[in-house]
Amino acid sequence: MQIQLAQRMEAMKASEIREILKLTRKPSVISFAGGLPAPETFPVAEMQAVAGTMLASRGCEVMQYSTTEGEADLREWIAGRMNGRLGTSVEASEILVTSGSQQGLDLTGKVLLDEGDEVLCESPTYLGAIQAFTAYRPRFVEVPTDDDGMLPEELAKRLAGCRRPKIIYVVPDFQNPSGRSWSLERRRQVRDVASRFPVVIVEDNPYGELRFEGVARPPLKAMDRHGQVVMLGTFSKILCPGLRLGWIAAPVELLEKYVLVKQGADLHTSTLCQRLAADYVRGYDLDAAIGRIRELYRRRRDVMVAALERELPAGIRFTRPSGGLFLWVELPQHLSGRDLLVRCLEHDVAFVPGGSFFPNGGHENTLRLNFSAMPEPRIEEGVRRLARAIREMLADTTVPASA
Amino acid sequence: MQIQLAQRMEAMKASEIREILKLTRKPSVISFAGGLPAPETFPVAEMQAVAGTMLASRGCEVMQYSTTEGEADLREWIAGRMNGRLGTSVEASEILVTSGSQQGLDLTGKVLLDEGDEVLCESPTYLGAIQAFTAYRPRFVEVPTDDDGMLPEELAKRLAGCRRPKIIYVVPDFQNPSGRSWSLERRRQVRDVASRFPVVIVEDNPYGELRFEGVARPPLKAMDRHGQVVMLGTFSKILCPGLRLGWIAAPVELLEKYVLVKQGADLHTSTLCQRLAADYVRGYDLDAAIGRIRELYRRRRDVMVAALERELPAGIRFTRPSGGLFLWVELPQHLSGRDLLVRCLEHDVAFVPGGSFFPNGGHENTLRLNFSAMPEPRIEEGVRRLARAIREMLADTTVPASA
């Protein structure tokens, strides 16, 4: 029986990289490829206490259906935390609880995108966003981006050239994959440019709370004057990802549309997971827990940066992120991250080739390294193996001398 | 800022009925409108024990990311149960764990439907399926359906008239909303008709285990000879809905496509919820628990049917389902279920007008009643109120005598 799939499936191919990375699951491999939080930071004992009390006192309720919008007190808490930490002024009625912030991306595509509509994004940008939006068949427009963020004049130029621009997708804090954070000035400039076009700025903020040093900059959401910014948040990096809990903060008229599509997508997010998070944040010191996460990841970032400085051959650039989970390496132009990955597997070390993060291809000489998920000695050993593989490739692929 | 939404949003309107039903949340209202399982059937103490043990023994693991496909042992268990109870022969590799079976519907639309493709369905059909598929802008083709199921010759005729038929969506056991179940003969006939067309039969089976009497009939999935049937299942009605756990059983090549779209939609279903279900079904007697659910719902069905027989004016038909959660009432042609709902709210009783379950409209003289969610005396009192409202409407809207 030959079934005709939807046309969107032509663009939704299994990632070749993901297939390669499946080979890396043996314990001998040191993998910088994932984006996992460190499990030793999960508040397991606290969650056990919360689950016990919750099921004993209101078990029937937490096992029943809930509303599409999400548990009322959790929405209150999210709005309150955003306003307190980020300087936004959102109401609980502007929050929709989602099944992870990945769902926030999918629902965004569903609410906003017709085939051929333009999504403008940083270059590189988050792979999960590319995957989510691709289902709605947009045209991705990569906007040149430097260490301070998206370039506003380049954004303006590209917006002017778009036929139906709908979304500017940005990760201004400790971006996945590059680790970069936007300057305050850039945030303002991008907001100002966007305000001249009928587009939604989708500000994805999974890592904002994981700052190792320096002062936090306000999100675009807090600078929004036109109800133009939708912000995505998640519990995955500040509590744990296994609950699959995220949220969307959007102006009420737009949020109502999100609620409609979420209802068709999965009715609502797990009542039990929502109640676990709501009861945890009420009963325990989330800030202290986040402080421990930050401290751990900062040490691991330091160890990885020091190892890269020590081990990598000269001429290879990498970012020194002041927060988040990732850093970004640029090889010499003639080296391919994909080829390097294949070679690295012989050395029992893995990463994600950076080309995957550019929706329109190219930039094959880049790699993303995760530093959150493993102990410091493994990071040092992994970087040694990576550097060895790079040196081998450099030796094999000498650039032809000018003729 | 005037944002242009995706065209699909034009069809995704907030349900007027849902807005009316929001008014019914006061305790004085007896609501037959919901589709909630009875919370007193939830195994709260068992879940508490499972959660405690699980978090104590492998807390970090259950709070971490998981695979898109789902937890391996849960997929094994689902395949085994399907094969043991339903006579299918599916492998664990053919199972994808979803965030409720509502997500199974959404992913189905995403994998299969382009704008204008045809979805053939029973008439009436499940409202959640209409909502999920509508996001992909298909044309709904209602196939006439009697008490034994979809009419095969009508299905054949309509399939022949379709331009791009993609999905035949069916709920052959204790259908929501009608409560009807298909005869064995009809199942075979529909399978045979479908086998002549390049369509997927999507067999939604949330209620199959909730049979009150008589002998179970095999699902179309068990009769499938061409890899043409995708079956959707759920824990919502046999364990509890608050975990948001369902599954898709599909041939591997098709399941791979589902996995791709699920990855973009929400990465994976909550690890913690999956582990709770997997550990619960291993540690406790699910069949005994389902037996108690069946017994309770059977009594409530009996009470509702007896009350309807006693209270309703002559000439009003209703179904006597032998399982599930719902029964279906047909008023005289000239009465509107929507008007009746408005009147019923004055009498503190509610239901869902049946017109919502026909994707192409009409059939306004119908209603869906839920009998699973409340104690017997409330069912009896609710039916008394409903009957009073119907009698009032009949008195107000006398049919003009023939001229």
Mean local confidence (pLDDT), A167-174: 98
According to the CATH classification, is domain A65-283 in 3.40.50.150?
no
Q: Do A9 and B59 touch (CB under 8 A)?
A: no
Q: Which residue has the tokens 């034994």?
A: B148
Chain B residues closer than 8 Å to A266 by CB: 98-100, 102-103, 106, 244, 266
Q: pLDDT confidence of A38, banded at 50, 70, 90?
A: very high
Q: What distance in Å separates the CA atoms of residue B243 and residue A64, rounded to the nearest whole number?
A: 8
Q: Is B40 on the interface with A (CB under 8 A)?
A: yes
* Min Cα separation B369/chain A (Å): 18
Burial of A207 (0-12, 13-18, 19+ CB in 10 A): buried
Crossing angle for the helix pair A271-283 and A44-62, to the nearest 10 degrees: 130
* Confidence tier at A1 by pLDDT (50, 70, 90): low
Q: Do A13 and B132 touch (CB under 8 A)?
A: no
In the stretch 203-242 of chain B, residues with CB closer than 8 A to chain A read 226-228, 236, 240-242
Residues of chain B with C-beta less than 8 angstroms from the C-beta of A39: 60-61, 63-64
Question: To the nearest whole angstrom, how far is the Cα of A17 from the nearest Cα of chain B?
Answer: 14
Contacts of A135 in chain B (CB under 8 A): 110, 261, 264-265
As given in the structure block, the two tokens for residue A267 are 């009715």
Location of structure tokens 């040694």: A384
Chain B residues within 8 A of A48 when measuring between CB atoms: 51-52, 55-56, 59
| A397: confidence class by pLDDT, cuts 50, 70, 90 | confident
Cα within 13 Å of Cα(A24), Cβ side = 23
| CA-wise closest residue to B145 among B165, B117, B162, B170 | B170
- Determine the residue among B270, B280, B293, B372 to mutate to test chain A binding: the one whose Cβ has the most chain A Cβ atoms within 10 Å: B270
Which phi and psi (to 5°) does residue B235 adopt?
Answer: -85, -5
Q: Which residue out of A19, A31, A55 would a mutagenesis test of the B interface target, given it has the greatest number of B Cβ atoms within 10 Å?
A: A55
Chain A residue whose CA is closest to B257: A9
- State the best of A240, A267, A280, A372 to mutate against chain B, taking most chain B CBs within 10 Å: A267
Which portions of chain B are predicted below pLDDT 50? 402-403
Q: How far is B107 from chain A (nearest CA, A)?
A: 8
Q: How far is A232 from chain B (nearest CA, A)?
A: 13
pLDDT tier at A403 (50, 70, 90 boundaries)? very low
DSSP code at position A393: H
SS (H, E, C) chain B: CCCCCCHHHHCCCCCHHHHHHHCCCCCCCEECCCCCCCHHHCCHHHHHHHHHHHHHHHHHHHCCCCCCCCCHHHHHHHHHHHHHHHCCCCCHHHEEEECHHHHHHHHHHHHHCCCCCEEEEECCCCHHHHHHHHCCCCEEEEECEECCEECHHHHHHHHHHCCCEEEEEECCCCCCCCCCCCCHHHHHHHHHHHCCCCCEEEEECCCCCCECCCCCCCCHHHHCCCCCEEEEEECCCCCCCCCCCEEEECCHHHHHHHHHHHHHHHCCCCHHHHHHHHHHHHHCCHHHHHHHHHHHHHHHHHHHHHHHHHHCCCCCEECCCCECCEEEEECCCCCCHHHHHHHHHHCCEECEEHHHHCCCCCCCCEEEEECCCCCHHHHHHHHHHHHHHHHHHHHHCCCCCCC
Residue A65 in contact with residue A210, Cβ under 8 Å? Answer: no
Beta bridge partners of B95: B249
Query: In this complex, which of A13, A63, A268 lies closest to B42 when CB atoms are compared?
Result: A63
Is there a contact between B217 and B187 (Cβ–Cβ < 8 Å)?
A: yes
- Would you say B312 and B305 are in contact if contact means Cβ atoms under 8 Å apart? no
Superfamily for the A7-42+288-396 domain:
Aspartate Aminotransferase, domain 1 (3.90.1150.10)
Q: Are A137 and A11 in contact (CB under 8 A)?
A: yes
For the residues A178-192, what does the mean pLDDT come to?
Answer: 98
Q: What is the pLDDT of residue A398?
A: 67
Of residues B37, B227, B244, nearest to A266 (C-beta): B244
Q: What percent of chain A has pLDDT over 90?
A: 93
Q: What does the pLDDT average to over A201-230? A: 97
Residue percentage of chain A with pLDDT more than 70: 98
Q: Please report the pLDDT score of residue A19 as a whole number.
A: 75
Interface of B with A in 249-288 (CB under 8 A): 254, 256-257, 260-261, 263-273, 276
CA angle B241, B243, B247 (to 5 degrees): 80
Q: Does the pLDDT value for residue A283 go beyond 50?
A: yes
* Distance from the A20 Cα atom to the nearest Cα atom in chain B, whole angstroms: 16
Written as one string, the DSSP assignment of A28-67 is T-EE----PPPGGGS-HHHHHHHHHHHHHHHHHHHTS---
The structural domains of chain A, with segments of one domain joined by +, span: 7-42+288-396, 65-283
Q: How many A/B residue pairs have CB atoms within 8 Å?
A: 252
Instruction: Provide the 3-class DSSP secondary structure of residue A317.
Output: strand
CB A111 to CB B9 under 8 A? Answer: yes
Scored b (16 or more CB within 10 A) or e, A106-142 reads bbbbbbbbbeebbbbbbbbbbbbbbbbbbbbbbbbbb
CATH topology of domain B45-283: Aspartate Aminotransferase; domain 2 (3.40.640)
pLDDT at A399: 61
Nearest CA in chain B to A198: B3
Are B242 and A14 within 8 A, CB to CB?
Answer: no
Distance from CA of B400 to the nearest CA of A (A): 42
Which residues, 6 or more positions from B314, have their beta carbon under 8 angstroms from its beta carbon?
none
**Nearest chain A Cα distance for residue B109, angstroms:** 8
Measuring CA to CA, which residue among B213, B215, B259, B211 is closest to residue B97?
Answer: B259
Structure tokens at B298: 């059977």
pLDDT in tens, A319-348: 999 999 999 999 999 999 999 999 999 999
Nearest residue of A to residue B198, measured between CA atoms: A3
The chain-wide mean pLDDT, for chain A, equals: 95
Backbone φ, ψ for residue B71 (5° rounding) = -65, 130
Mutate to test the interface with A, among B253, B267, B273, B279 (most CBs of A within 10 A): B267
The token pair at B249 is 């059983």
- The dihedral built from the CA positions of residue B86, B90, B91 and B96, taken in this order, carries a sign that is negative
Yes or no, beta carbons of A63 and B243 under 8 Å apart: yes
d(CA A37, CA A31): 13
Q: Would you tell me how many other CB atoms lie within 10 Å of the CB of residue A371? A: 27
**Would you give the DSSP letter of residue A323?**
B
Which pLDDT value is given to residue B400?
Answer: 57
The pLDDT tens digits for A97-106 are 999 999 999 9
Give contacts of A 129-148 with B, CB under 8 A.
131-132, 134-136
**CB-based contacts of A61: which residues, under 8 Å, 6+ apart?**
A271, A275, B39
Q: What is the pLDDT at residue B403?
A: 42
Question: Is the ipTM value over 0.85, yes or no?
Answer: yes
CA distance B70 to B93: 10
Instruction: Say how far apart CA A348 and CA A345 lie, in whole Å.
Output: 5
CA distance B141 to B166: 11
With CB atoms and an 8 Å threshold, state whether B60 touches A40. yes
Our CA dihedral for B239, B240, B242, B247, rounded to 10 degrees, sits at 50
| Chain B residue nearest residue A3, CA to CA | B198
Q: Do residue B52 and residue A52 have CB atoms under 8 angstroms apart?
A: yes
Mean pLDDT of A16-42: 86
> What's the token pair of residue A202?
């989708």
Burial B280-307 (b: 16+ CB within 10 A, else e): bbeebebeebbeebbebbbebbebbbeb
Residue A140 belongs to what H/E stretch?
A: strand A139-143
Which residues of chain A lie closer than 8 angstroms to B356, CB-CB? none
Looking at this protein, which amino acid is placed at residue A4?
Q
